Amino acid sequence: MDCQILDGKAVAEKVLERVREKAQALSARGIVPGLATVLVGDDPASAVYVGQKIKRCEANGFNSIHVPLTADVTEEKLLDKIGELNDDPKVHGIIVQLPLPKHLNPEKILPALDPGKDADGLHPSNQGRWIQLKGWDEVLSSGIPLPCTPAGVMEILKHYQIPISGAHAVVVGRSSLVGKPLASMLLAANATVTVCHSRSNNLPEFCRQADILVAALGRPKFIKADMVKEESVVIDVGISRTPEGLKGDVDFEEVKSVAGAITPVPRGVGPMTVAMLLWNTVKAAETRVASD
């Protein structure tokens, strides 16, 4: 049986169709969804990511408000800028591009965002609210902005009708951006979840137990074919620039000979992150309009 390629770019376009419908409905009422991107410094990868977000905004009926700041900006000035965006009625979503320069503490910066404008879904109060909900349907219906990359993974699994309830999901990676929230989402969808990381003993053995294996370590081609159970679903969240080009955490050519389904890199999880960012923003705009 051939391995099914889970095309994240195609799924992202389905999400963006819904985003555009909502943006058009808001536009008919005189409201243009506004997304503010805050970029501190000149990190090339961050600049590329922000550029992609700006392009997606413009292509989907959004107003893009880009806020570039120098790498030596003080914490006070960054917090002041976030306060201005919080108070701006034309801004419905805000992202602060990570990573930040070392002198800035994300644990102090991210909580300064208005939780209602948390386009990345990383505000601690939002994460605390949805993680207390029991079922995935309840999480989705809550309207709470969800972390974009994990939510994008869940959207891919839904689109391709991958059974989650009762499945054993193994998440390799424990970051607050992906691993931890995705594990909680899979639990809410009734998976049995194991979270592993770089210091886990017998990591290949855990991986081989997975019906759904998620690689989110940031190590190119780390997951090999002998670490994957036959016919399992492999989700590759990693993306690294290598001499061979962009590579994920999964050795794609090896693993696709074993897996039943797999996300590629590129065209996998990456496009979903931006699509879910715009989804969070347009939903925030709807919520703001409803409350006015």
Query: What's the pLDDT tens digit per position in 7-60?
Result: 999 999 999 999 999 999 999 999 999 999 999 998 888 888 899 999 999 999
pLDDT at 111 over 90: yes
107 and 178 together in one domain: no
With H, G, I as helix, E, B as strand and everything else as coil, classify residue 258.
coil
Cβ atoms of residues 174 and 130 within 8 Å: no
Give Cβ neighbours of residue 252 (< 8 Å, ≥ 6 apart): 221, 236, 262, 264, 265
Q: For residue 251, is it within any domain?
A: yes
Last residue of a domain, one of 67, 96, 114: 114
Give Cβ neighbours of residue 249 (< 8 Å, ≥ 6 apart): 172, 215, 216, 217, 218, 219, 220, 221, 222, 223, 236, 237, 238, 240
Q: For residue 70, is it within any domain?
A: yes
How confident is the model over 153-196, as pLDDT tens digits?
999 999 999 999 999 999 999 999 999 999 999 999 999 999 99
Rounded to an integer, the average pLDDT of 222-234 is 97
Q: For residue 141, is it within any domain?
A: no
What pLDDT, on the 0 to 100 scale, is given for residue 44? 85
169 and 97 together in one domain: no
Q: What is the CATH number of the domain that holds 255?
A: 3.40.50.720
Q: Distance from first CA to last CA of the chain, Å, rounded?
A: 54
pLDDT at 246 over 90: no
Beta-strand relationship, 4-5 and 261-262: parallel
Sheet with 233-236: list strands edge to edge: 4-5, 261-262, 233-236, 212-215, 168-172, 192-196
- Dihedral sign computed on CA atoms, order 281, 237, 175, 232: positive
Q: What distance in Å separates the CA atoms of residue 202 and residue 10, rounded to the nearest whole number?
A: 35
The band of 149, judged by pLDDT with boundaries at 50, 70 and 90, is very high
Cβ atoms of residues 132 and 126 within 8 Å: no
Residue ranges with strand state E in 91-132:
93-96
Q: For residue 93, is it within any domain?
A: yes
Q: For residue 187, is it within any domain?
A: yes
- The tokens for 211 are 């019906």
206 and 252 together in one domain: yes
pLDDT at 210 over 80: yes
What pLDDT, on the 0 to 100 scale, is given for residue 1? 63
162 and 239 together in one domain: yes
- The tokens for 23 are 């943006």
How confident is the model over 49-100, as pLDDT tens digits?
899 999 999 999 999 999 999 999 999 999 999 999 999 999 999 999 999 9
With H, G, I as helix, E, B as strand and everything else as coil, classify residue 265.
coil
184 and 253 together in one domain: yes
Q: For residue 66, is it within any domain?
A: yes
Which residues does residue 249 pair with via DSSP β-bridges, in sequence order?
none
Give Cβ neighbours of residue 108 (< 8 Å, ≥ 6 apart): 75
What average pLDDT does the structure give for the chain?
A: 95
What pLDDT, on the 0 to 100 scale, is given for residue 146? 98
160 and 222 together in one domain: yes
Q: For residue 240, is it within any domain?
A: yes
What pLDDT, on the 0 to 100 scale, is given for residue 124? 95
Cβ atoms of residues 258 and 225 within 8 Å: yes
pLDDT at 133 over 90: yes
With H, G, I as helix, E, B as strand and everything else as coil, classify residue 246.
strand
Q: What distance in Å separates the CA atoms of residue 73 and residue 171, rounded to the nearest whole number?
A: 36
257 and 152 together in one domain: yes
90 and 163 together in one domain: no
151 and 266 together in one domain: yes
What pLDDT, on the 0 to 100 scale, is given for residue 45? 82
Catalytic residues: 53, 97, 120
Q: For residue 264, is it within any domain?
A: yes
Cβ atoms within 10 A of the Cβ of 235, count?
28
Q: What is the CATH number of the domain that holds 73?
A: 3.40.50.10860
164 and 88 together in one domain: no
Please state the separation of Cα 221 from the chain's center in Å: 21
User: Which helix (H) or strand (E) segment is 192 a member of?
Assistant: strand 192-196
236 and 153 together in one domain: yes
pLDDT at 118 over 90: yes
- Per the structure, the complete domain to which residue 80 belongs is given by 30-114
82 and 159 together in one domain: no
Split into its structural domains, the chain has a count of 2
Q: What distance in Å separates the CA atoms of residue 285 and residue 283, rounded to the nearest whole number?
A: 5
